A and B are shown apart, each in its own frame.
Chain A
Amino acid sequence: MSETVRSFTRPGLPRTRRRAGGLLRYGVLALLLLCLLWAGWVTRDAQPLHALVPVQQDYRVFINDFLNKRTQIATSEVWALAPEGSAIAQIPAQLSSNFGMPEWVLNNLIYGVCLLSGNDLQTFSDILLVTRMTRVGCLIEHFHNFLPGIDEDPAGGLNLRFVPESHVYYAVRGRVLIASPSRDALIRSLTLTADQALGEAALEEQINAPGAEDLNAHLRLGADDPLGDVFEELWVALRLGPAQAQLRCRGGLQPAWRRRFEAVLADVTPQSLRPAPEGLLTLSANVGKPLPEVWAALNEAWPEPWGLHQQLFGWLDTRQGTGASVGTMLAGLLAQTGPAWALSWHGIDTLAMIPTPEIVAVLQADPSQLEQVFANWPEPPVETPAWESVPRYDAARQVVYLPMPGGPSLEPTAAIQGNGLFLSSSRRVAGELLSKPVAGGVIERKGNLTIDFFPQPALQAVVDAGLEFAHFGALRGYTVETFQAAADRWLATAQKLKRISVFALHDQGVLEAELTVEMNPRE
């Protein structure tokens, strides 16, 4: 028998130590690996978000990448419009506050799309929040047992959690967090069948809707809901930029309203819009029908309380055929107009006999036909004094005007401008604008209505007019000093706003509108 000598010298000790340390390390690594595997497993994105959003909800609001954009939203100039001390004015501060959580926690709890939906548009009692968490957020939630103020609610195996302090139920499926103040709403969401859920395609469509970068909502309205008597459903998208807020709406009219406005909206499709004359408030419209036709249809659909239509057209009817009358003037001119027209509030003439708003309009018309009308303008009877309010053609200036008390500032004037009929409430303003080059062409985007409002100069015009009355002690409730002080405050607010624009169109029974608020940069 041979004897085998085994040496247990130096190489062995370290090896022994190595083996022991390695085991620990491997153990830890393994444990970590297991933890990671477990974490990966429990935080896997196993549940599609769209499967938890009911398709039948009356409203759905998508907020894209809320946390990453909240700083941008909070610093938007638009918030400066909120009344000081109001709840809305607090929103930027709240957005920046992390809602009492460390930022990293918050950043992990809400990630990407955040979806709000429900059926109660009055009190929002069943509002449902669906969002996706990060893995970290999901993991943090997994340890909710270590967090105070969260109760378990098994709910027949649905494993809900309840936060009594804020009376919110929530559940986690995969990385999706679903929360609601309504337990029923939450349970319904967790038990949706495939055909009851929104579906992937619908979700993607709504998330990627144009203009929906920040917020996108779909509302199906009932008769009792706000605007529910007008619209069947509304799509709303909001985008908040550093100096701009843009709200896009698309709405399907209720059948009753469709019937009511049928004469106005029938066959209305987006049209070319002509630029409005410069002004503090401008409006350009084209519904494919001449203005008198639209006016009559509107009056039929929506009889206004003052009987303006009846007064104006009734008066026109009685005045037509009497030669050089205002009725003849208006009827003759309006008969030549096409569907596109634009209107501007140019300002207030504070130096007029009585401070008077200045209104300017341009209506699409065939210049050659207008020339015919102007050339054949009836002369007033010889015995008519030159100052009497009978419309007259000024051949030198090629305008028709109506002499009025107060002089040119209050004298309606008509002229041919480019391919349009130019109308002005003031002969002075007409002279001023007609001497400038005609703004030709059309607005690039097709639609039916566009409105631009410039709050600061508009308010300044109103203030200047008010001061005229205040100097005379005739502004009710104000002296010059108190009015000036109040006006300074209003102007300071208006100074923040650069422009408010509305763009609207109608196509195949759906109304679309876009409201844009542009702010002036802070000084």
Chain B
Amino acid sequence: MRRFLLVFAGFFLLVDPPGAALEAGTAKVEITPPVGTPLNGFGDRLGRSSLAVHDPLWARALYLTDGETQVALVNTDLCMINRELRDRVLELTPTGIPRENIILTATHTHNGPGAMHRYLPLRIVSGGFNPEILEATARSISQAVRTALENKRRAAIGYGVGKQQVLSQNRRHPGGPIDEQIGVLRVDDADGNALALVANLAAHPTSVPDSDHYSISADYPGFYYDELERLSSPGCVAMLLNGAEGDQTIGNPENQEGWARTESVGKLLAVRVKGIANQIACTDAKLRVNSAQPTLPPTIAATFQPNTVLLQTLEIDDLLLTFFPGEPTVEIGLALRQQALARGYAAQFSVGLANDYLMYFVPQPRFVEKTYEAAMNYYGPRIAEWFYTEFGKLMSRPGPETQSLPAVAAAQVEELEGGMRITLAGTPREIGLQRGLAFAEDFKARYQARVTGALISPDLLPEGSLWKLWPNFLDPAPVAVPTLAMAARPLLQGVPTSLFDEIEGMAEGAQMPFDALWLLQQAVDFKQRKERSALFDTPLCTMFAVTGDRAGAEGLLLARNLDWPEPETPVIVEVRPRGGHRLVQAGFTWNTGVYTGMNDAGLVLMLERAKPLGDPSMTGPPIELVARQVLQETGSFAEALAQLRAHTHLRGYTVLLAGNEAGEPMAAVLEFGNRIVTRSPEGNLLFGVAPQSDAADNAAAARYGRLGELLAAEQIVGRREMEEILRDTAGSEELLHAIWNADSRYSVIMEPQKRTLHVAFRSAQGVSGAYTSATLKSATDSLTVHGSQTQAAPATASQAGGASQSVPQSGTQNGIVFEQLDDETAAAIRGRGRR
């Protein structure tokens, strides 16, 4: 107790409102359910019945009116206020009080009744649905409101805040932030007797000892109520509004165990609240309730989470109470308080678990953590900002001018034979938005095919797990996809902020949940780990570099065919980030990372899956995002090599890196297996996978063996020879033994010295089509127009997210110069390429 420090108390409400005098009424009605009712909050109970009542549960209501505004503030000893309960309470509550001014809150006791969830997923935690429990609870809450209204009398109100450091602690990060504030509302009758004392503290009521895991209890609030009412004048109703308690739990100030600890915290809180309340002088006050029903960000758990929610704020003169429909972590509460204070409010209380339950809300930096709170955050990484914005709109005191983000249009998409081309420019968010807007429909289709359709197919569910018991008539996606999303979140750790923002932009542009976009990025590697189907079998072959004299005047040439079993349309994407290097990559609509790319410094990166090197790692960002990061951040070969080697978590791929170092062209292959092996060119040739090495499976050995034969016949390898080699179909196309095989989607040849990339997409006939060339100019170069683009078709509305237009038929597009072989030459090469 000595450690408590009172920092602020006794705000006198000096304003004499012109309306009627303040009136208040209080009531409390017991809501203890019958023994046997399942309890809510802990998943390990699995809906088992409660066995005893340790202490009773209550609904406590405070009715306030200043003559103009009526408000009913209800505090319940429940784990949450779910929609079914709120709807029923509102149906039963007298219509005199505007419905949006009825504020229902739960203390979040984990020993309160469940059985009130109508829909299935939450029943796993709260137990089977029992309409009688719902009805009885709703009636009792409604009765509390009605009685408080009936009990109204002339009253005065005041508030204060105190500080604590031992009643709560951060349960997730030892020593992490806590909300030190204890907020107190005091409501007195005309004689100065306390009608109600309302405290606001952020701490999980999860302190009931294991021996009473199945006992009904209000947890520490129960001791708090009893003690505070004992300390106060008769008839005073003690209330508790839990705060931004997502990651907060109670402390142990008296070093107690079991119930003694619970009792200690409850009683100390009561004493502290009483102490603060004693210093509060009450008077009239102006009340204001603001509410809205905004649309929530898209959620990965749309089957059991709503898309709109009721938000409320209550202003009592210059005190602001904000009511969260779930459990915000403490940083969100603290940040919102700062914003409120900046607007001129004297104090702010964040109240969690109000009116609805959307689970947890964590700020963006916490989103990637492997924690329970982050996993249960279903509305994306920017939910905190969403709350700041939406609560900001409800605050009557004006805030700082916020500049809305500039509108971003969909990027222009141009159709090429067998592929597409798009240029993205701006901040990471803008780049993502442009892409998301342009390819929204494709993203959704890929997400359906790759995540909900493929990853969740029964044959891919983990062996030996409960998933295998999933009945065939049920679709596991509604449960499995959110579960998968939780598992994928920690993989965001290490992803640069710029790419994180870009993926967010993509999600926003496509109107999809962030988690869905992230799962889409991960789907390839998820699938690779299972190794059960060829659907995502991505050998990403065949790639090689020719260096030195064998590359002729160029000094360095690189080529690859990308094999991709999914019949996706490849896209040439140029990214012009606001900071860092421009880059061009041959990829697909949805993938933020790079499989084949080059930046404006001539640095080239190509990836190839090498199964013998192991399963892709699931402990950090996927390799294609690492490649993207390297291309965007550095132009130096040596620096890029060092950056790649620093990613020791990577597995199962080889990376062909090429670029310049001190003016000299350089190339190397990194093999990411149990250790990272770096290979240099031999005889001026460098293969993505050495055919005789442990990294080569049968198909890779056949392809690279054939590649070796073809290159041995050429003393000087130029672009034309490379094109011919990439069209080679010797060997089984179906078994992927051929360099151009059944899965080949495009061929790429790179001339890093010229910053030029030549791409040939798979034609309708299944062969490598005509080459399109793109030259990447440095950021300082002016855009010049030369060359021509043929066979370009306007993008369709669906392909371009309904916002694209065709680009001019010739010219330079945002720094990339395109040219295309004339048909005759292309046909001649094609003829030579076919054996």
Contacts and interface: CB of A to CB of B under 8 A. Distances in A.
A409 B128 contact: yes
Q: Determine which residue in B46, B49, B128, B473 has the highest number of CB atoms from chain A within 10 A of its CB, and name it.
A: B128
Q: Is chain A's interface secondary structure helix, strand, loop, or mixed overall? A: loop
Interface in B436-495: 472-479
A474 B474 CA distance: 5
A37 B127 CA distance: 90
Interface stretch (B116-124, B334-342, B541-549): B116-124
Given A472-B121, A476-B473, A387 B478 contact: no
Contact of B478 (A385, A404, A406, A473): A473
A474 B479 contact: yes
Interface string A247-287: 00000000000000000000000000000000000000000
Given A386-B214, A474-B479, A407 B49 contact: yes
Contacts of A469: 120, 474
A352 B128 contact: yes
B370 interface: no
Contacts of B479: 474
Given A406-B46, A406-B47, A408-B49, A474 B129 contact: no
A58 interface: no
Given A469-B474, A474-B478, A387 B51 contact: yes
A3 to B, nearest CB: 122
Contacts of A468: 119-120
A514 interface: no
B474 A403 contact: no
B635 interface: no
Q: Determine which residue in A351, A408, A474 has the highest number of CB atoms from chain B within 10 A of its CB, and name it.
A: A474
Interface in B291-314: 303-304
Contacts of B213: 385, 387
A403 B49 contact: yes
B382 interface: no
Interface string B36-80: 101000000111110100000000000000000000000000000
Interface residues of A, number: 25
B582 to A, nearest CB: 43
B131 interface: yes
B287 to A, nearest CB: 39
Contacts of A385: 213
Interface in A283-315: none
A351 B131 contact: yes
Given A351-B128, A351-B129, A387-B48, A473 B475 contact: yes
B130 interface: yes
Given A471-B120, A472-B121, A473-B303, A353 B47 contact: yes
Q: Determine which residue in B121, B123, B213 has the highest number of CB atoms from chain A within 10 A of its CB, and name it.
A: B123
Nearest to A411: B49
Interface string A385-422: 11100000000000000011111111000000000000
Nearest to B131: A351
Contacts of A476: 472-475
Contacts of B38: 407
Interface in B91-124: 119-121, 123-124
Interface in A328-349: 349
Contact of B473 (A387, A405, A475): A475
Contacts of B214: 386-387
A473 B303 CA distance: 6
Contact of A405 (B47, B472, B474, B476): B47
Given A353-B128, A386-B214, A475 B48 contact: no
A47 to B, nearest CB: 61
Contacts of A434: none
A354 interface: yes
B47 A407 contact: yes
Given A472-B478, A474-B303, A354 B48 contact: no
A409 B51 CA distance: 16
Interface string A453-497: 000000000000000110111111100000000000000000000
A472 B473 CA distance: 13
Contacts of A387: 45, 48-49, 51, 213-214
B688 to A, nearest CB: 41
Nearest to B303: A473
A474 B120 contact: yes
Interface in A133-185: none
Given A354-B120, A406-B48, A472 B130 contact: no
Nearest to A388: B48
A404 B48 contact: yes
B129 A386 contact: no
Interface string B115-156: 000011101100111110000000000000000000000000
Nearest to A476: B475
Contacts of B123: 352-354
A178 to B, nearest CB: 54
Nearest to B472: A476
B478 A351 contact: no
B47 A472 contact: no
Nearest to B49: A407
Nearest to A406: B47
Contacts of A409: 128
Nearest to A352: B128
Interface string B402-443: 000000000000000000000000000000000000000000
B137 to A, nearest CB: 16
A163 to B, nearest CB: 52
A405 B46 contact: yes
B475 A405 contact: no
Interface of A: 349, 351-354, 385-387, 403-410, 468-469, 471-477
Given A387-B45, A406-B128, 7 more contacts: A353-B127, A386-B51, A403-B49, A407-B38, A469-B474, A471-B120, A472-B478
Interface of B: 36, 38, 45-49, 51, 119-121, 123-124, 127-131, 213-214, 303-304, 472-479
10 contacts: A351-B129, A351-B131, A353-B128, A387-B49, A407-B49, A471-B119, A472-B119, A472-B120, A472-B478, A474-B476
Closest 8 CB pairs of A and B: A405-B46, A473-B303, A353-B47, A476-B475, A352-B128, A351-B129, A406-B47, A473-B478
